[in-house]
Structure 1
Amino acid sequence: MTPLQSRFKITFFLMVLTAVVFLIYANGLNTPFQSDDERHIFLNLEIDNPAYYFNPEKITYRQFSLLAFALNYQWSQENPFGYHLFNILIHICTVILVFLTVFLTIKNATEWNEKGALIIATTTAFLFGLHPVQTEAVTYISGRPGVMAALFFLLSLLMFILGGLKKPSRKIPGFVFYALSLLMFFVAVLCKETAVTLPVILLLYDLYFMRGENWTAFRSRTGFYILFPIVAILIYLQSHHAFIVIGGLLEKIKFSLILLQLDILKLPIKLFLFPINLSFEYDIKSQVLLGPLLISIFGLAVALFLVIKKFYLKSSILSFSILWFLITLAPSNSIMPRIHLFSERNLYLPYFGLCLFFAIIIYLIFFKETRNKFVWGLSLLLLIGISFASLVAKRNQVYVTPSSLWADTLKKNPHNLVTGKTLSVHYLMEEKYLDALKILNDLLKIYPNHFDLHQNMGLAFKHLGDMTNAEKKFKDAISTKPKAPEAHYALASLYGTIGKPVEAIKEFDISAKLFIGHVYGPPHQFHLDKARAHNQAGIAYINSKKYEKALQQFEKSVKQNPKSLEARFNLAKLLLEFKNDKTQTAIHLKEALKLNPTPSQTQVLQNLLIQAEQ
């Protein structure tokens, strides 16, 4: 194969793969924001200020991922299409890097020829780009940090490979590639901290492959390895905040998680081989049964031994691919405590190792020596491609709405409290109140004393107009958690809606006291609702001819919401008629006239003001 033919085939394949990857992910372009997307975009105080992330003194957690979100915000604002498009393009670039990395490695570090390198690189990139498990990292906007970290991780490795290759005709010296590799490493870490494993991968790659006539001597790279701790120290001197965060994480290490993580290890392997029943969250049990764990470890060890024995390679590339998988998986599935013990999006980079492993097995069985198996191998890859593409397209449909995503998650993890609560909240937001009640009813049978379940049921009943059951559920919520300010607030709002202003005021006052010192404090709407309740109570007291109490309620209403036109008017009218306080009446009427009343309201206010000034 001539260099020109090789370049043509590589270019053609990458173009085809780019088109295929884009097409199978295209049905996810218009899916809405989900879950943590709100935290990354709407709750990010610097989202509209990309320049903030270029300040070296502000180096912080996932700096470049946050920068990517900020840039996306400049282009797309709150339209999710642009964010999804960005994720897909990053994924495509990562797939291209997978191809180039594998091609150069096989071509220069094994006994196989360029044709073998092309087949293995093609198969690896094909499996990596189309594997359905990757959908969570790509379609889920907040999966971006893992994809970006993988992009710069592989780019760093590619620069390292180019720096180590002997190329007499090359005009760029090797140290330039090493410098770029080092730079890409730190960019990767600032995308997602799991990229810290890269120095280990580089050293293993060096020991495994960078031998022989195609590579420069190991001693030429010693300076490169020394630079890692030196640059880390310089970064610490520039912004030690990042190391404070790392130190805090190290303090949380729990060695008791080792057995649990070993037990979980079978799940990513199972999902790689059989990518069905994928789930946004997994209900991982914290207790490990030793018997099944030992059987799983033994079975895995035997399988790996038989495979490596069957396909023994002098280059040891099979063992490298296994180590890649285990090492890159370690930061997210190790002795560090995590809210979610297992997430599909954390498999994005580790799956490169498994894709490479099986690409080599497929090559050795179908493509290496026997021509009569070539058609079978091609048919197998075509079948895998069609299956993967359909599974990706089907999985993307789950992201069509937040409730469809969490409904699918609950289906895969029935009776999971957190998943059920989250789904019920999305049903409430999407005004699917009967669906919310069904979920909450099922969960209450398992968790009868859970505050959020009663609270959410109360909200569902209220929106359906069933005020009796809504009141009962809000009271049940209060009985399970008496000091929850939001429970009293919900009941107060209900009383205000059904015309019980005095009862509403009582609950509002309890809620206001409980909100003092609370983590989040009352929402802005709380003050508006409380002001409205005071105003309603004032009207009720007037109807009962309790004018002093009515006056107190109107004053409280104005204090809670000075921009309440109705409360200002009611207070001014009562001050004039009950107290004959013309001075205060005039003050409130003048303030009311500043609140953009309608022409008819303006006329009423001005007539009353004339009376006050006479």
Structure 2
Amino acid sequence: MTQKVKTTTGIPSTRLTCGFIFLITFAVFSGALDNQFVLWDDNGFIYNNPFITSLSLENLWTMATTFHYSNWQPLSWLSHAIDYQLFGLHPAGHHLTSVLFHCWNTFWVFLIVREYLAYTCKKNLDVRVLWQSALIAAFFFGLHPLRVESVAWVSERKDVLSTFLAFPVFLTYLRYVTAQEAKRKLFWMRISLVLFFLSLTAKPMPLTLPLILLLLDYYPFARWQKSSDLIPLIREKIPFFVLSLASVLITLLAQNQIGAIKNFEQIVLTRRIANAFQSLSSIYLEKSFWPVVLSPFYYYPRTYEGVWISVVLFLTISGLCYQSWRKEKPLFAIAWLYFLITLLPVIGIVQVGEQAAADRYTYFPSLCLSLLVGAGIYSARHTKITAQKIALDKIAIFAMSAVLVLFSTLTFKQVKVWEESLNFWEQVGKTNPERGAWTLARRGNVLLLRGQVDEAIQLFVEGLKYRPNDFYLHFSLGTAYTLKKKYVEAEKEYLKTMSISPNVASVHNALGKLYAATGKLALAEENLKKAIEITPRFPLAYLNLGELYLAQNRLQLAEDAFNTALKDHPASANAYDNLGTIYSRRKDYAKAEQYFQKAVKKDKIYFQAFIHLGELYTEIGEVGKAENAYRKVLEILPDWKEIQERITALRKTEIRAPH
């Protein structure tokens, strides 16, 4: 049977549509280009991440084989490394890349909605209405305020990149299903598998995709019509399930390194289930259609008194979808199952981190909502033309346009929340007033990084008035006092944190640093070893222990500590620099030079290693190399007078040297 298609003139080409989608989406998110990095993972992911500073084979291997920042996401690291080569540490360039990925993902949604509606509406297909429906559905995805967190937060590049690779699987799988020749089917299946694998190397969010493909086999592809059809369909997707399982295991292993996975003593199962229902209704569903009072961080509620409303809503939607399915209208049931299944990894039954929910978790799941919007518009408009229908069409188009304008306005405003760190944490405090003390601690840490230590102390002290036994506030105050060299006050705060929560590795590490600074070397060693005992894979504690041994000239112990740190943090410029110092003290200048060079290769702005290279070259009489090394320091810190004086002294030495 041939497909009957209503053809109309004036339908823009796919390329023109792509350009239009890019233009509108980019305009709405363009404010992100004025944003800075924020003190929430951007420090570890971007500006303190040494192995994105070059595309060397060593760094590429590190990206692929280590759990930096307790994540395995080599493709995301690679994208950040490419950005670093193009833009350095200028935030605008990094934001630009994320915005462009999001623009393309919006176009993917247009193609997915268009192709799947065309497949399901083969009879009397109206191309003009199809194009309009797909376009509105794409903008419902692309301009939605819930997308802001994934786009305007550079660390969430992994979200837009992973989705950029996962969304086209829906198109390639459609080609697989509709292909007639075995070779073509095999080709499209392999392409789907490769895209799925790559998406998982950016972020594991799409790991439920094999289950989604089974849903598509049921509807709209009708490949799963009876129970006996299921086994062959599962068999053809075994490679997908294997990749998903591997991704789950790797993610759990990576997150468990720092204890990010909460056990059932920390958050009991009943609380997790209650939070899952409440997050599903009050955040993921409600804010999908009424996206106001968004927060970069949603805390676990203190009580779940109204959770029964969320359970009733869940059962009601599930019941309505079931009734629709019974009436042979499975679209709503499939969309609802898609939404639930794709949210399953982040719904909190396996709890990773402190958040109860997150806007970014809607990025991949929201495709089903766009499909419903597109299908609804097409169904409403693809009917017999009457005067009444024309009037209703105009009202519907005006209403949808108004919604998209409202979304765009809210999105433009939400982008500014991520403008800089202080503004960011102030917004978290406004949307979570009952957690004000915690946000005061975060704002204080931003001030610490800016060198405004006194102002930070004021915020920490203010926060402790509300929560006198808050671990994070006491720890942060201890850090501030350490920076002010008020070691007695700092020790008091660290000991208070230990009374609140004993056996925390970071506290023992901080105490170790403090005792080393005050000359209490035995206590320093004891606490650093305790930190390592609590968290055996703690490279920072090994670095601090190595520096303690180096200060005591216990060179072999120091070398062992630095090498152990490099096992878990192979991109540590600090470790390589200290190893260079060890070999320099041993008068093994060739090996010392190798380690100093490795340090600056890992981190091009690690000026201490350039200073040590300058000192080494001076000691062995390589005046020209010493001057070049010091000039590298001045490229990073141009006003450093001591380094300028060293260069002047080297030139005088060179002039006096006999020719």
Give me the TM-score of the superposition, normalised by structure 2: 0.67
Query: Which runs of 5 or more residues in structure 2 are unaligned?
Result: 499-506, 533-539, 552-580, 585-614, 621-625, 627-641, 650-659
Match of 2:26 among 22, 27, 31: 22
Partner Cα distance (1:225, 1:6) in 2: 43
Query: Which runs of 5 or more residues in structure 1 are unaligned?
Result: 494-503, 532-559, 564-589, 603-614
Match of 1:81 among 92, 98, 108: 92
Any conservation in 1 of the 2:338–2:368 contact (CA below 8 Å)?
Answer: yes
**Alpha-carbon distance, 1:244 to partner:** 5.0
**Alpha-carbon distance, 1:341 to partner:** 3.2
Give the structure 1 partner of residue 463 of structure 2: 443
Give the structure 2 partner of residue 135 of structure 1: 148
Give the structure 2 partner of residue 70 of structure 1: 81
**Alpha-carbon distance, 1:57 to partner:** 8.6
Partner Cα distance (1:561, 1:67) in 2: 32
Partner Cα distance (1:12, 1:148) in 2: 23
Counterparts of 1:63-462 in structure 2, within 5 Å, are: 63-110=74-121, 113-165=126-178, 173-211=184-222, 225-230=234-239, 245=250, 256=270, 257-266=272-281, 267-285=283-301, 288-289=304-305, 292-302=306-316, 314-339=328-353, 340-364=355-379, 370-414=389-433, 415=435, 418-432=438-452, 436-450=456-470, 452-454=472-474, 456-457=476-477
**Alpha-carbon distance, 1:293 to partner:** 2.1
Any conservation in 2 of the 1:116–1:368 contact (CA below 8 Å)?
Answer: no
Match of 1:486 among 491, 510, 521: 510
In structure 2, relative to structure 1, the CA distance for the partners of 1:433 and 1:191 (3 Å cut) is same
Partner Cα distance (2:66, 2:9) in 1: 46
Q: Deviations over 1:504-538 (max 9, x none)?
A: 546x774465334534338779979x98xxxxxxx
**Alpha-carbon distance, 1:404 to partner:** 1.3
Q: Secondary structure at the match of 2:34?
A: coil
Partner Cα distance (1:383, 1:11) in 2: 26
Q: Deviations over 1:145-204 (max 9, x none)?
A: 22222222221111011222368xx99833322221122122222222221211111111
**Alpha-carbon distance, 1:225 to partner:** 4.8
Any conservation in 1 of the 2:143–2:408 contact (CA below 8 Å)?
Answer: yes
Q: Deviations over 1:356-387 (max 9, x none)?
A: 22444455557756211122112212212221
In structure 2, relative to structure 1, the CA distance for the partners of 1:241 and 1:380 (3 Å cut) is closer
**Alpha-carbon distance, 1:452 to partner:** 4.7
Q: Deviations over 1:269-322 (max 9, x none)?
A: 111122112111111137544xx2222222344367669979998553222222
Partner Cα distance (2:547, 2:61) in 1: 39
Any conservation in 2 of the 1:367–1:373 contact (CA below 8 Å)?
Answer: no
Partner Cα distance (1:241, 1:159) in 2: 23
Any conservation in 1 of the 2:51–2:63 contact (CA below 8 Å)?
Answer: no
Give the aligned residue type for 1:299: L
**Alpha-carbon distance, 1:97 to partner:** 1.3
Q: Secondary structure at the match of 1:338?
A: coil
Q: Deviations over 1:15-56 (max 9, x none)?
A: 222101111111112322232223233335466236565899
Give the aligned residue type for 1:43: N
In structure 2, relative to structure 1, the CA distance for the partners of 1:562 and 1:93 (3 Å cut) is closer
Give the structure 2 partner of residue 498 of structure 1: none
Counterparts of 1:583-594 in structure 2, within 5 Å, are: none
In structure 2, relative to structure 1, the CA distance for the partners of 1:8 and 1:562 (3 Å cut) is closer
Any conservation in 1 of the 2:381–2:393 contact (CA below 8 Å)?
Answer: yes
Give the aligned residue type for 2:178: L
In structure 2, relative to structure 1, the CA distance for the partners of 1:207 and 1:479 (3 Å cut) is closer
Any conservation in 2 of the 1:454–1:476 contact (CA below 8 Å)?
Answer: no
Question: Greater shift after overlay, 90-99 or 366-375?
Answer: 366-375
**Is 1:515 aligned with 2:521?**
no
Partner Cα distance (2:57, 2:274) in 1: 44
**Alpha-carbon distance, 1:491 to partner:** 9.1
Cα RMSD for the two superposed structures: 4.7
Give the aligned residue type for 1:164: V
Any conservation in 1 of the 2:528–2:544 contact (CA below 8 Å)?
Answer: no
Q: Secondary structure at the match of 1:331?
A: helix
Any conservation in 2 of the 1:50–1:70 contact (CA below 8 Å)?
Answer: no
Give the aligned residue type for 1:441: V
Q: Secondary structure at the match of 1:199?
A: helix
Any conservation in 1 of the 2:173–2:189 contact (CA below 8 Å)?
Answer: yes
Give the aligned residue type for 2:541: G
Partner Cα distance (2:529, 2:170) in 1: 53
Give the structure 1 partner of residue 41 of structure 2: 36
Question: Greater shift after overlay, 276-285 or 52-61?
Answer: 52-61
Give me the TM-score of the superposition, normalised by structure 1: 0.71
Partner Cα distance (2:325, 2:438) in 1: 46
Partner Cα distance (1:123, 1:402) in 2: 34
**Alpha-carbon distance, 1:137 to partner:** 0.6
Give the aligned residue type for 1:343: A
Partner Cα distance (1:334, 1:450) in 2: 24
In structure 2, relative to structure 1, the CA distance for the partners of 1:514 and 1:456 (3 Å cut) is same
**Alpha-carbon distance, 1:78 to partner:** 2.2
Give the aligned residue type for 1:23: A
**Alpha-carbon distance, 1:439 to partner:** 3.2
Any conservation in 1 of the 2:275–2:300 contact (CA below 8 Å)?
Answer: no
Give the aligned residue type for 1:101: I
Q: Secondary structure at the match of 1:25?
A: helix
Q: How many residues align?
A: 524
| Percent identity of paired positions between Structure 1 and Structure 2 | 19
Give the aligned residue type for 1:100: L
Partner Cα distance (1:428, 1:55) in 2: 30
Give the structure 2 partner of residue 551 of structure 1: none
Question: Greater shift after overlay, 514-523 or 125-134?
Answer: 514-523
In structure 2, relative to structure 1, the CA distance for the partners of 1:148 and 1:109 (3 Å cut) is same
**Alpha-carbon distance, 1:328 to partner:** 0.8
